[in-house]
Chain A
Amino acid sequence: MERNLTHIALFAALIAILGLVPKIDLAGGVPITAQSLGIMLCGTVLGAKRGALAVLLFLALVVLGLPLLSGGRGGLGVFTGPSVGYLVGFPLAAFTAGWVVERTTLPLGIAATAGAVIGGIGVLYLFGIPGMALVLGKSLPEAAFLGMAFLPGDLIKAVLAGLITRGLAQMRPGSVLSRA
């Protein structure tokens, strides 16, 4: 019981710091913000339920006025702005990613990447793009066109989520709770 709470709370903190630390470098020297990667890891490492709760807790803190979104953003304004769909989609994305890892018997790295693609792109964009459409006054196809700008980065992050999740299991078998 306590362990569930602390895993959820500490991973919410992890999402927060991944928005605060300097960007992660990719092989080619291209920097990426790690925060959405952290959201995927909540799902792939903690599993669907705890992963989603960790993200929800993180969002609650943003609502409470803490500037924890990457770039130091926070407060209620982010929920009435163009990213609102993505914010709403984050916990569902983490849930989906965790669900894929928990329910499939694919090798962990592949399952985590698949989960991150289905959840972190599929489900996330399902909410993110209509949200952008609404706030930016665009049609769904138009908003989808804008949203595609994030696709390459998100695909890379999905692969990294798989590598990191697999790396955790390699470093310490049994540490990945979604497969424990």
Chain B
Amino acid sequence: MLTLTSPIETPLHRLPAGAKLAALCVTTVALFALTSPLALGTALAVVAALYLANGRAFALQGLRLLRPLWPFVLVVALWHLWTGALADGAATLMRMIAAVAAANLVTLTTRLSDLMAVLERLTAPLARLGLSPRTLSLAVALVIRFVPVLLDRQARLSEAWSARSPRRPGWRLLVPATLATLDDADRVAEALRARGGIG
């Protein structure tokens, strides 16, 4: 499965994941502490500069990741245009875009395996409760392995539906889909046990 990590290599790719995440936490808290449009505008400009410093293609990738925000941008813009609190509106929008863009920057420049390592370190204390790092990576691997399998089956179920109905599939299709997922879980558990189990 393709992750959102950018194939375009940047200097940021070489920074340790833990450091980037820590910096992101600090940045996010700071962004939500700031209130002046000037300060937030500067912050946004800094984030934008970080993107543009890595080339136009990279910056475009970053822009694409911001696209899902547009309904919220619209709502806030219209809201503040209506109430006349323009400075507040600008501050809110700049803060929101800066926060999301900064977080996306970490996602674009950090590989899944590196983030996985951080996640394993962070959850190490939970090993006593049964969540060993090995279990976590097995769980992640299982999900990634089975997303295409489930997608394929959903496509076949949709086809079987379309073979008897001119309408798009309804909620009923989720019954055989969920049942088949439960069966998959049983079968994979068996396969795991056959290979020595997860201890």
Residues of A within 8 A of B (CB): 1-3, 5-14, 16-17, 20-27, 29, 31, 34, 37, 41, 45, 57-58, 60-61, 63-68, 71, 73-82, 134-138, 146, 160, 163-164, 167-168, 171-172, 175, 177
Contacts and interface: CB of A to CB of B under 8 A. Distances in A.
A13 B197 CA distance: 21
Contacts of A64: 3, 112, 115-116, 119, 140
Contacts of B103: 75-77, 79-81
Interface residues of B, number: 75
Contact of A81 (B100, B135, B188): B100
A6 B181 contact: no
A134 B32 contact: yes
Interface string B70-113: 00100110010000000010011001100111111011101010
A67 B189 CA distance: 26
Nearest to A58: B143
B179 A5 contact: no
Contacts of B119: 60, 63-64
A120 to B, nearest CB: 15
Interface in B163-180: 167-179
A172 to B, nearest CB: 6
A78 B32 CA distance: 16
A134 B174 CA distance: 35
A81 B96 contact: yes
Given A6-B188, A21-B154, A171-B175, A66 B1 contact: yes
B19 interface: no
A7 B143 contact: no
B10 interface: no
Contact of A136 (B2, B96, B175, B188): B96
A55 B106 CA distance: 23
A3 B182 contact: no
B154 A17 contact: yes
Interface of B: 1-5, 24, 28, 32, 65-66, 68-69, 72, 75-76, 79, 88, 91-92, 95-96, 99-104, 106-108, 110, 112, 115-116, 119, 135-136, 138-140, 142-144, 146-147, 149-151, 154-155, 158, 167-179, 181-182, 184-186, 188-189, 192-193, 197-198
Given A75-B104, A136-B96, A164-B175, A1 B143 contact: no
B178 A2 contact: no
Given A6-B142, A135-B96, A168-B179, A65 B170 contact: no
B74 to A, nearest CB: 12
Given A10-B142, A64-B115, A146-B75, A22 B174 contact: no
B102 A80 contact: yes
B129 to A, nearest CB: 11
A137 B188 contact: no
Q: Considering residues A13, A136, A175, which has the most beta carbons from chain B within 10 angstroms of its beta carbon?
A: A13
A80 B168 contact: no
A77 B4 CA distance: 11
23 contacts: A1-B198, A6-B188, A8-B139, A9-B185, A10-B150, A10-B188, A11-B185, A17-B154, A20-B151, A21-B155, A23-B168, A25-B167, A61-B143, A74-B107, A75-B103, A79-B103, A80-B100, A80-B102, A80-B103, A137-B95, A160-B171, A167-B175, A171-B175
Contact of A31 (B76, B143, B168, B181): B168
